[in-house]
Amino acid sequence: MNFSPLPSVDAASVPADALVLDVREDDEWAAGHVEGALHVPMSDFVARFGEVTDAVAERGRAYVMCRVGGRSAQVTQYLVQQGFDAVNVDGGMLAWDGAGRPMVTGNGSPAFVL
């Protein structure tokens, strides 16, 4: 079998207008997330797969993110196997925050990575 390396980028390289797919759970998302990101928890991913593929078809490459990069790597691998343009964001939201990239919350409280 031929396993190609998982496509990945560092958080600082994600374009400002990119389709960010956040696969963290609801409590993690509520604490802080990338503005405009598509939130599909990994636990809901299969049920909401059509929503994800529609977004990728409309907006192009998906930058998949979780807290540190483990769950997003699994989702990225699955999307790539299905023929979609997806890349894993190395280090996830911790790296995003560490790179000084902006985060928001739904209620206006200070954003943080849970």
Task: Please give the positions annotated as active site.
Answer: 66
User: For residue 6, is it left (φ>0), alpha (ψ between -120 and 50) or beta?
Assistant: beta
Cα(68)–Cα(52) distance, integer angstroms:
21
Q: What are phi and psi of 111, to 5 degrees?
A: -85, 145
Q: Decide: helix, strand or coil at residue 47.
A: coil
Cα(87)–Cα(30) distance, integer angstroms:
23
